[in-house]
Amino acid sequence: MIVRLLKLSGLGSLSLVLALAMVVALGPPAYASTKGPTSLPVSAFTSNFSVMSKLKALAKAGKGKVAAILPDTVSSTRYVEFDAPDIKTALEDAGLSSSQFIIQNALGVDATELSDAETDITNGATVLLMDPLDSGVGSAIESYAKTHGVDVIDYDRLTLGGSREYYVSFNNVQVGKLIGQGFESCVAAWHVSKPQVVVMHGAATDNNATLFAQGYDAVIDPFFKSKKWVDVTNTADTWDPPTALTEFETAYTAHPNINSAVIPNDETGAPIITYLQTHGVKPDTFPTTGQDATLTGLDNVLSGYQCGTVYKPIYLEAGAAVALALYLRAGQKPPSNLVNGKTKDTMENKNVPSVLMMPEWVTTKNMKSTIVKDNFVPVSSLCAAPYTSDCTAAGITP
């Protein structure tokens, strides 16, 4: 075809040879790559989301909307304070406009979460980031999405028996281990000679709660079996703070010798700590635990009413989940160092390809080098009265 065109243009044989050589040398026209990075480790995601700009070509190549559905505003403040804004920032920094993504919160209602997913798919979503309230609604959403050719990523919580493509979360057994180890360390540091422990759990419908308990039970059970500690009681499973408080009050009234508590997150621990304070419990005497590094939880750590909290930098989870969604949206296989693990779906007895991040236990000793360094919580809020002197003692300048 090229020779014919050159002949028609009137070029001589020498010119023809030179022109052909030029075509061969230049090769085909150069186009911008629409492929995403072939290497994208979890460590690449930072609080300023700078790595997301490397995904702009990938975002441009993809089709449809990305919809993120968060579960509630009660079990943890993280969904409002961190997940929603971090997901939004990651999507925008990757080049998506506001018309190309949807971020919602189901407000603790299964029917709302399912309805949101169905509506999102009707409105053009091709990828769902979904944090299921429970595996029942999660499975229903994933089944609906599958029949409509929509990819699903389980975000933070795994849907047991589901059909999602990937799972993105922190290593939740490790979260539980950190809670157990933090409790053990605190019992020693606060000189609790005969721990009488109440052990609390998150909602039974949340697979993460099961994994958390697996982690901290592995640490604390040997102490119970050896009779060094006493497992006074286990409370009902809940993420609802008022319910957790009622459960604790009942246990504390029946067993006034209780002097410590393994609590799986900051939100359920906060009203319990307030209750203990109203009953004259002094700082550094009654070990409690938590996770999510909420402002209230951190202040309770600073003031000596909580041993520590599990810090999960949400920007890691949000950035990695958005990146994974963009690969799926563009029909591309994500890098192997992004999908860095597997998580067992015990209902289906199969492993789910996963993006897993490592959490960190935060106390007054490393709060400055973690929470403050990452600006996870503004120092002005963290160190507001009456916690100003506590911050100073921890080396944090208000």
Provide the token pair at 306: 């909580």
Residue with tokens 């052990």: 199
Nearest to 89 by CA among 317, 261, 269, 267: 317
Do 209 and 142 lie in one domain? The reply is no
Confidence of residue 74 (pLDDT cuts 50, 70, 90): confident
Nearest to 320 by CA among 20, 117, 41, 57: 41
Q: Cα–chain-centroid distance for residue 63?
A: 25
Do 178 and 293 lie in one domain? The reply is yes
Do 243 and 296 lie in one domain? The reply is yes
Tally of domains in the chain: 4
Do 179 and 155 lie in one domain? The reply is no
pLDDT of the residue at 76 = 86
Report the range of poorest mean pLDDT among 5-19, 46-60, 382-396: 5-19
Provide the token pair at 129: 């980031």
Looking at the chain, list the stretches that DSSP marks H as alpha helix, in order from N- to C-terminal side.
Answer: 2-8, 13-26, 56-61, 78, 84-93, 110-122, 135-147, 172-189, 207-225, 241-254, 266-278, 295-302, 314-329, 379-382, 388-393
Which amino acid, 273? I
Q: Has residue 135 got a pLDDT over 80?
A: yes
Average pLDDT over residues 243-254: 96
Provide the token pair at 355: 């993006």
Domain that holds residue 374: 364-398
In a domain, 340, yes or no: yes
Which class for 326: exposed (0-12), middle (13-18), buried (19 or more C-beta within 10 A)?
A: buried
Ramachandran class of 105: left when φ > 0, alpha when ψ lies in -120 to 50, beta otherwise = beta
Do 90 and 8 lie in one domain? The reply is no
Measure the CA–CA gap between 146 and 162, rounded to whole angstroms. 10
pLDDT of the residue at 225 = 97
Average pLDDT over residues 197-219: 96
Confidence of residue 71 (pLDDT cuts 50, 70, 90): very high
Do 196 and 300 lie in one domain? The reply is yes
Do 179 and 302 lie in one domain? The reply is yes
H-helix or E-strand containing 285? Answer: none
Q: What is the pLDDT of residues 349-364, one digit of tens each?
A: 999 999 999 999 999 9
Do 336 and 251 lie in one domain? The reply is no
In a domain, 36, yes or no: no
In a domain, 32, yes or no: no
> Model's pTM, two decimal places?
0.86
CB 323 within 8 A of CB 96: no
Do 118 and 96 lie in one domain? The reply is yes
Q: Has residue 4 got a pLDDT over 80?
A: no
Do 232 and 319 lie in one domain? The reply is no
Nearest to 308 by CA among 266, 256, 352: 266
Provide the token pair at 35: 């492929």
